[in-house]
Structure 1
Amino acid sequence: MICCKRVYQPVEDDDGYRVLVDRLWPRGVSKSRLQHDEWLREVAPSTELRREFAHRPEAFAAFGEAYRRELAARPEYWQGLLARAAAGKLTLLYATRDQEHNNACVLQDFLEDELERRGTGSSPVCYAGEL
């Protein structure tokens, strides 16, 4: 299971593995205060893409498509997140106020699509008697 959460929200027992997925460290949060397991700044959108988007909701669709292309080109940055999500709950942490139009939401959808695409194949029992 993958979920998204603002870094400013309280930590909950069922957050699972908590990963900050922003390129920049969140304002007003000391590194010692943020409870997280990992900071993956490389998985965040490029600086150019982040600046183009500028958190404008009307630009979110184009941003999402461009960010997905960046992610597809660099699987080494997010492969480990798939394993974490398959093993238990994964919480993607982000700082922006907009809870619907942000990179963590795009990353969550991207990872869920990858997990579904890589889903377990059919068992041999399904084909019993068809040979």
Structure 2
Amino acid sequence: MTTPSVLFVCVKNGGKSQMAAGLMRKAAGDSVEVHSAGTRPSGTVNALSAEALLEVGVDLSGEQPKPIDPELLSRIDYVITLGSEATVDPIDGATFENWNTDEPSERGIDGIERMRLVRNDIAARVEELASRLRGTDG
């Protein structure tokens, strides 16, 4: 059986897609090949995203936002876009999903509290996806 591959995509690849990739690495270990990218990558990983992940044992040190690599995209099994702003043209053989993650700032919640809520929303989705990729239900 081949190792399934997942590419998490958001616009800047500085926050939500980095969070999803880090959380998937933690949840699935070596059983899933994990990547992240942005449609318009920023210069750095969001500091509050990194801080919120450190609280749950995920270290983003050394991660940098990056664009979508067409060669990588051509061999990915699952493309997960986070938010409605990030779009990726469909490719044959890949499963595409969009996760419209919780956005606490729309309710006036900002800072680290916002990032924790975003992290928890993404973590629940990652756990469900990891379970599907392992062929288990939890």
- Between 1 and 2, higher relative CO (CA 8 Å, sep ≥ 6) is seen in 1
More helix by share: 1
Same fold (TM over 0.5): no
**Superposition TM-score, scaled by structure 2 size:** 0.32
Q: Of the two, which has the highest radius of gyration? A: 1
